[in-house]
Amino acid sequence: MKQFISLLFCLINAFAFSQDVVYIKVFAHLKVNAATFSVQKSTYNIIADDKVLLKDNGTTILKLTAINDSVEVKSFETVYGRFKNVKMVDQNGGGELKLKLVNPDRKQRIYPDNYNVSNELGNLKIINEVKLDNYIAGVVEAESGTASTPEFYKVQAILARTFALAHINKHLPEGFSLCDQVHCQAYYGKPRFEGITEMVLDTKGKVVVDENLNLIVAAFHSNSGGQTANSEDVWGTRTSYLKSVNDTFSTGMPNYKWERKMLTEDWLSYLKLKHNYPVDEASAKALALNFKQDTRKIYLEASNVKVPLKNVRQDLQLKSTYFNISKSGDSVIFEGKGYGHSLGMSQEGAMRMTKLGYSYTDVLNFYYRNIQIIDMRKLAFFRDE
């Protein structure tokens, strides 16, 4: 019951912040000095410090520049002045605005819904005030590309929505919900493939919760190599849903196998210097040069020295921790399987499942254990009772 109430509060928060709208800081990794905006679809009111500057349906290109602590607004013909805050508000619904960074120079992108631009420490702070489903559609394309199955997009949509709602207040102290970088979820505006939005709407409101009705940590990766991992083995935290599963769906997919060659002396000195591994002991050395994982191991272990494979992966920039090692001349060969941290869903495995006709429910229940897929709107309704 306690968890149920905490989920309700979480959802109430999500709704209280604004109904079905999220506030995404775009180009969050850049210091933006100047950008142009133009209406692509619908009619917009351009509102500066709470006064309507103009109404536009695509005839005007506005240039906004950060000057001192304000935002200067001008078009080719007119300098409108300097303001604290500039809002661009869609009047008809379904609106889209083209955004082109001028300084620094970046390719144009199209964003749905509204904008709020202000000056933050001498730079433009551009917030896309976007309907949750439009945001999810952008994330789905950014995270899964354009060549996929409809059912796979639905899986990604549910995971992206689950993440967004679980982290809706991540940047609250900075005045927005989420940033557009992988720190939160990659989001580059409106998807180029229009069909994505439709598939997102097919999953409207659906999120994944654990057995206590808490939104799950919706971890996913590229390819599990045939076996996913336990969260406690990768992150040190046990969960009821990130459990190791045998995943034959990932077998043979593009990121299933990898190989890396390394000089034997480099490998042994790495083990010795970084991990104090006893390379001078014959049996320990033999193990380091001939290491096998039939199922996932967590350590390379000899004489009570445990070398965490996740550290080896990180230090040597390997695609996964699921590798065998064998000797070849003066080198060792790492023959690995999978790509990524291997927690939760394997994207390539999920893609294969949907191609074989499995539903998004099947996919989510396969990669996440003891979960439920629920409608967040129904929970919001319960709170009124």
Residues at the contact surface with Zn ion, assessed by CB under 5 A: 179, 183-184
- Between 32 and 184, CB nearer to Zn ion: 184
CB of 182 to Zn ion, least distance (A): 8
- Between 167 and 327, CB nearer to Zn ion: 167
CB of 163 to Zn ion, least distance (A): 11
The answer to whether the CB of 142 falls within 8 A of the CB of 188 is yes
Helix, strand, coil percentages, rounded to 5, for the chain: 30, 30, 40
CB of 32 to Zn ion, least distance (A): 16
CB of 178 to Zn ion, least distance (A): 6
| Two structure tokens written together for 247 | 């995943």
The answer to whether the CB of 343 falls within 8 A of the CB of 228 is yes
CB of 185 to Zn ion, least distance (A): 8
The answer to whether the CB of 244 falls within 8 A of the CB of 228 is yes
- Between 167 and 369, CB nearer to Zn ion: 167
- Between 183 and 238, CB nearer to Zn ion: 183
- Between 28 and 353, CB nearer to Zn ion: 28
CB of 142 to Zn ion, least distance (A): 14
| Two structure tokens written together for 217 | 């940590």
CB of 25 to Zn ion, least distance (A): 8
Q: Look at the chain and count its residues.
A: 385
- Between 64 and 184, CB nearer to Zn ion: 184
Cis peptide before 308 (omega within 30 of 0): no
> Radius of gyration over alpha carbons of the chain, in Å?
25
- Between 18 and 283, CB nearer to Zn ion: 18
Type of residue found at 8: L
In this structure, are strands 85-90 and 372-375 parallel, antiparallel, or unpaired? unpaired
Q: Which residues fall within 8 angstroms of residue 371, CB to CB, at 6 or more apart? A: 208, 209, 210, 211, 216, 241, 364, 365
Residue recorded with tokens 């191991």: 297
The answer to whether the CB of 267 falls within 8 A of the CB of 288 is yes
CB of 31 to Zn ion, least distance (A): 16
What residues form DSSP beta bridges with 49? none
CB of 23 to Zn ion, least distance (A): 12
CB of 65 to Zn ion, least distance (A): 25
Q: How far, in Å, CA of 302 to CA of 289, rounded?
A: 12
Q: How far, in Å, CA of 303 to CA of 292, rounded?
A: 17
- Between 176 and 267, CB nearer to Zn ion: 176
- Between 32 and 179, CB nearer to Zn ion: 179
- At 332, which helix (H) or strand (E)? strand 331-337
- Between 159 and 179, CB nearer to Zn ion: 179
The answer to whether the CB of 231 falls within 8 A of the CB of 295 is no
Type of residue found at 84: K
CA dihedral 159, 169, 239, 323 (to 10 degrees): 60
